[in-house]
Structures are given as C-alpha cells and as structure tokens.
Structure 1
C-alpha cells in the first residue's frame, strides 16, 4: 500500500490549505489515444490559455490575485532563489502572449485545468514512487534531478517544503519543479494528480477543479478514477495505491 501523507510541519504553516487529489489508473499510452481525442485535448489547452486571461487583471504579474497568494505562501518556507509557484509560471506565459503549448496528453490536460482555474496542478507517475509520498518540511539533502536536466543533481535545502518519497524529492519548493524520476511520460499508466489551494475562500474552486480533472482524464485517457478527494487538516492522508 502507498499513501499520500501531509505532515504536521505542513499544516503548521498552512492550516487552512486545501489539496485536491485524483488517482487515475489504466491510462492509455499517448500513441493509443485516437487522433480526434488528441486534437480535442490540444483544443482544450488552447481554450484554457484564453480562459486564463480572466485571472490576469494587471500587466504586472505579481499584482494578480492568484500570484499574490502564492508569493505570500512561498515566504513561509525556504526556497531556492528564484523559485515560483507553477501557476505563476503558466500565467506569466499567457501574460506575455506566449501560450502554454502541448507536451504530452496527461500533462496537457492538467495544464488546461490549472490555467482555467488559476490553481497549481501537478502530476506524478505513481509506479515510480518508493514508499509513501509525503508533503512536509525537509531537513535538506534529499536527492533530486530536475526535469530537463541530464545529470545535474539539485538536492533540497534545510527548511524547504517539498514532496518526497523514500528515494528523495519528487517536487521541490512545494509546487515549483518536478524531478525526472517521477515525471509523467507518454507511457505512464498510473497518475497521482494534485491541485493545491492556499486561499480558504477558493475551496469550492479546488473541488470543481478536481471534478473537471477527473472527468477529463477518464474521458480522454481511458483511466479509472480510483480516488478523488480533498485533503484538509481534518483529513490528512489518502491511499493512492494498494
């Protein structure tokens, strides 16, 4: 059995946070997705890039409400210099007229949901996890090879908030950057999908976003949804694999 566990050190910093979880099994490999469905996924992403403009009320990225909330959250723990929440990076591209492009169907779907709701959304390959996945403050030194790097190790810092399993870091600075080891690929069949919300007043948005995410993954990737729930301070862990 594998679990996703949110640790006391996380809740000490963010007692009102809400985290949406979707566990999907039996996803189709990218090359088995019908061309018409692949095209629909790309159109979903195109529409989401347009929808994201509604969350951008200022030409200065830091003045937009979703970005403000996450910049404030990042001040609560140790981060690598320059690290920003994933939703800021996506919205910044939209603001600059450089829409988020297609990567792989599973990633395109979660990026579409992220842009539509202006909430950070991530995904990992459950089959690559070593033991439980945990979210908490690390003592530092957790092994991590950043996505996009071939050999440059970049271990966690003391006091950093990150997702870790028994083999090291999975995603650094909470939701800044994924690692190579656990990233979703064109052949991933089991996905751990996660949506984070630090604004209590947006809990309903988070719930709507996980509903949408689960529906799209089921519809376009042929997945079976094994779990879909909100993690809160009163519900701190979820079984993600038997």
Structure 2
C-alpha cells in the first residue's frame, strides 16, 4: 500500500507535453491519486449515485442538445484541433451524457462513482488502476507506433493510435486514446482495484473552482466508503509546467 508521499512522487513525475498546451493553452489536468480503496461490484450506493447522475443529465439536456453544453462543445473543438472527428470519436463526458437517458452502465463500484461524478459535473473523468502503471503518466501527441490494448468484436487486440493523436501513455503503451475517449484494458478498474489514478480534464469555460469541486465530490464519495483513504492531488497547467521546466 502506498503512503501519501509515494502518491505525490508519482504525480510529480507526470508530464503534459508542451505541444498539447500549444494546441489548447487553456487545458488543465487535475490528477488525483488514491490508495486504500475498497473495490467490489456495483452496489446500492453506487447505483443510487448513478441514478442521481441520470437525473442531472436529463435536467441538463431538457432544453438543449448535448453538443451545446459549454464544456462538451469545448472538447469537440479540441478533438477537431488534432484531427479527430467528434461525431464519431466522442469525448468521455459526451458519451456518458448521451447514454444517461437510457441508463448509465453499472460496471463496478469505483467505475460507477467516477462515471457519476463525471456526468454530474459535466467533466471528462477517467480512472486508471495505478498498480498496473509502468512509469509515470504522460499526455502527448502519438507517434503512431505505440501499443494500445483493447477489445474488438469481443476479442482482445492491440491497436495503434493515429500519428498526432493526443494520448495518455506510460512506459508500456497508451493508457487512453484521444485525450479522454477510450481507456486501455491493461489499466482499467476491476472489482479488485485498490489504488487509482483519476484524471479530470478541463478546458475553458470550466473554471478552476468547478474543477476543484468535481475532485472534492469524487474524493468525498470515495472517502465515505474508505475513511482512511490516502489521497494526493496535482494540478498541471501550461503556466505550472513552464515554471517547472517540463
């Protein structure tokens, strides 16, 4: 089990490439590393939180299509900027909001919690099994030869991102394609996961206060089940990365 110092050291090694900030200078990544989680299958508590998120999505979409929500629209613009087609490759929060009317998926306790928080706060939010990471997380433009393990037609396969695609990766390969579109099988959360890296992605007009509120909500729900949870945070911005010489 990792202590807070170890979690902080992991986060301090994370990098967002300058080319990504050149693409979107307003981008902010709030990384939240947690250890000591209680995993498990979906339960009554995570189901109730997803139900709340479904209601929030219906309210948000009562008078406008999902593409006109401010933060969703910003992410569609960001996807176009690196060559992705947002009508076919949807950012994670848009994909969840579109599913909410028919019911959000119940996956496992930890995934349910972060999906619900993502929908409620209208922010892309991913969860990666920290124990399966190989080296620190990096956000960069793909060369195109990186390995991405996924599933196609029910079978495990290895794909490659498009050259220039914005991807999160570690020393083994891509952990999430198209910034926040699709996660790798290798680092996905399971019923047995106990340590997680959560990535909250923000663009203008989402404020820093709203970003912090989403992280607070996430940690609050996790702490409710695990009072002695160990938590570390790091906000990466273009200004902060420049100051650190990254």
TM-score, length of structure 1 as denominator length: 0.87
Tell me, yes or no, if structure 1 residue 76 matches structure 2 residue 96: no
Aligned to 1:13: 23
Aligned to 1:217: 222
Matches within 5 A, 1:107-122: 107-122=111-126
How far off its partner does 1:226 sit? Answer: 2.7
* 1:63-99 deviation line (CA, Å, top 9, x unaligned): 33332111111011133782110111111112xx212
What secondary structure sits across from 1:145 in the alignment? strand
Answer yes or no: is the 8 Å Cα contact 1:78–1:161 preserved in 2.
Answer: no
Tell me, yes or no, if structure 1 residue 23 matches structure 2 residue 27: no
* 1:148-200 deviation line (CA, Å, top 9, x unaligned): 75322221111000001111100000000001111111111110001111114
| Structure 2 gap ranges (5+) | 1-8
Matches within 5 A, 1:177-192: 177-192=182-197
Q: 1:174–1:223: structure 2 CA closer, same or farther, 3 Å change rule?
A: farther
Count, aligned residues: 230
Q: Which structure 1 residue ranges, 4+ long, deviate > 6 Å from structure 2?
A: none
Aligned to 1:240: none
Matches within 5 A, 1:155-234: 155-221=160-226, 224-234=229-239
Matches within 5 A, 1:16-165: 16-30=26-40, 38-58=43-63, 60-79=65-84, 82-94=88-100, 97-146=101-150, 149-165=154-170
Distance 1:201 1:129 in 2: 29
Q: 1:220–1:203: structure 2 CA closer, same or farther, 3 Å change rule?
A: same
How far off its partner does 1:18 sit? Answer: 1.9
Distance 1:8 1:50 in 2: 38
What secondary structure sits across from 2:149 in the alignment? coil
Distance 2:25 2:239 in 1: 10
What secondary structure sits across from 1:90 in the alignment? helix
TM-score, length of structure 2 as denominator length: 0.85
Distance 1:110 1:147 in 2: 22
